[in-house]
Amino acid sequence: MKKPYHIYSLLRLYKKIKSPKLKIVGLMGSSAMGLRHLSLRVDPASSCNLFCLMCYFSDSEIRKQRKGQISVEEMHQIAKIFFSKAFQLVIGCGAEPTLNREFMELFKLAKDYKVPNLSIVSNGQLLRESHIKEMIQYGVDEIILSTHGLSKINYEKFMVNGKYDQFIYLLELINRLKKESNSSKPQIRLNYTVNEENLDDLKTFDVFSENFVFDTIQIRPIMDIGGKYNKVLPKGKQKEYLEILSSIKEKCDQKKIILLANTNDITHEQKNKDGVVIESVYTYISKKTIDELQLNSKTSTLKRYKNKIGWNNKLFNALFNHYEANSSVDKNLKYDVL
C-alpha cells in the first residue's frame, strides 16, 4: 500500500491541531531553535504561456504588468538566505515557472541545501523529457499540474492556448521515465479548479483514473482571483459537487490516490483562523519581491528579512489578538486530506 509521503502527513498533523495560538507558539519555537519552518513559494518567471479563464492571466492588462524573471545569481541569493530554514520549496506560484529557462537551477540548489520537500506547479505545456530526467536526478517529490478539465473540450476551453494531447503525453512521459529510472518520484498531482461548467467532467473520474496514472488530485471550487470566468458554484450545484466528491473518494481509496478537497467552505467566504500562521510560513518570492525587499547575498540574512517584514512582531501580536492576517490568506489551505 502506498503511503502519503512527508508533506501530506505534515498537513494532516497541522489540521489536527485546532488551536491557532498553539500553532503560533510552535512556529516561533521552531524559528528560535533554528529548525526548518518555511514553505518557500518561488515564481522564477512572472508571466504565463496560457490565459486560463479562471486565472488573472486571462486579463490582458494584468499580463502586461506581470513581467520579469529571477536571474541565476538571484537564485543563489535566495538559496543562501532561505534554503537552510525551508522544509519545502515549491517552484511556481501563480505564474508559469518553465518560462524561465534556468528554473531547474533552483532544484539543484535545493538539493545542495538538503531542502526536504521539492515540487513544481506548472501547466506542463513546456515541460520536456530533459526536465523530467533532471527532476528525477534531483529527487523532486512532486509535479503539480493545473488541469481544469478531464476532457479535451473543457481542458482547452478553460486553459486557453493549452493542448490536452500535450497534457496526456506528459502524464505518460513522467511515468515512463520514472519506471526506466526505477524511481517512485516525482509523484504526479493534478490541481482541478471546479466551476459550474466543468463539474460534470469529474463524473468521468473513474474512467480517467483507470486510463492514466497519477498519485494525488486536489479538487477546489472556483474562487474569484480576477479571471474572466469568476462565477462561484451556485447553491444548486454545491450539493452535486459534494456528491461527486464522495464518489471520487471511493475510487481514490481503491486506487491509493490521495484526495485533497475543499468541502467546508465551497464559496471561500469564511475567514481563515490560521491566517497569521499561513502568512508567516508561506514565503513568496518573485522578481518583484526581490527588488522591493532589496534581497542580496552580501547584506541580506533571514534575520534581517524577518525584521524588515515584521515576522516575529506579527506572530507575537497575534498571540494577544492584536494582529489580523491579510485577507488574501483566507483562501489558503481550505482543503483537507480526505
Phi, psi of 90 (to 5 degrees): -115, 115
Q: What is the pLDDT along the chain (338 residues), one digit of tens a residue?
A: 344 346 888 888 888 888 989 999 999 999 999 999 999 999 999 999 999 999 988 988 888 888 899 999 999 999 999 999 999 999 999 999 999 999 999 999 999 999 999 999 999 999 999 999 999 999 999 999 999 999 999 999 999 999 999 999 999 999 999 999 999 999 999 999 999 999 999 999 999 999 999 999 999 999 888 899 998 899 889 999 999 999 999 999 999 999 999 988 888 887 888 889 999 999 999 999 999 888 887 888 999 999 999 999 999 998 888 777 776 665 677 778 88
Read off the pLDDT of residues 110-133 as tens digits, 9 standing for 90 and up: 999 999 999 999 999 999 999 999
The CB density around residue 126, as the number of other CB atoms within 10 Å, is 17
* Rounded distance between C-alpha atoms, residue 14 and residue 7, angstroms: 10
Q: What is the DSSP letter of 69?
A: B
Give the pTM: 0.94
* Sequence-ordered list of residues with C-beta below 8 angstroms from that of 250, at least 6 positions apart, any chain: none
